[in-house]
Amino acid sequence: MKYILTISTLFVFALASCGHNANEQTKAKEMKIDSAVAAKKDFSKIQFASKLDYSCFMPLTAGVGDTAIIDGKVYGFCSKECKDEFMKNPAANIKAGEAHELSMKK
């Protein structure tokens, strides 16, 4: 009887660990797919309102990770974090970004 109980316990642990490993593998695959989809975003045909990320002033030619539409104009950002920071006060950030772009032209 003890032998059967021991084998049953081992069997239950083996099944539980197999299921856990499968879930981890599935999550890892989903993360890779999500990353691949994000990397394939094509912003090349979008006409942006500026040439800079108005949050960190990085040139959009370095890469666009997110966008926002304000008053019908599309603004590009290097990352979601920069977009989130910009969206805290879009009007002030647009004004600062435009001033920064003008100062670069001089």
Q: Is 49 exposed, middle or buried (0-12, 13-18, 19+ CB in 10 A)?
A: middle
pLDDT in tens, 53-92: 999 999 999 999 999 999 999 999 999 999 999 999 999 9
Q: Are 61 and 51 in contact (CB under 8 A)?
A: yes
pLDDT in tens, 88-104: 999 999 999 999 999 98
| Residue 2 confidence (pLDDT) | 52
Q: Are 77 and 83 in contact (CB under 8 A)?
A: yes
Residue 26 pLDDT grade (very low, low, confident, very high; cuts 50, 70, 90): low
| Residue 43 confidence (pLDDT) | 73
Q: Could you tell me where the DSSP H helices lie in 1-106? A: 2-39, 80-87, 90-105
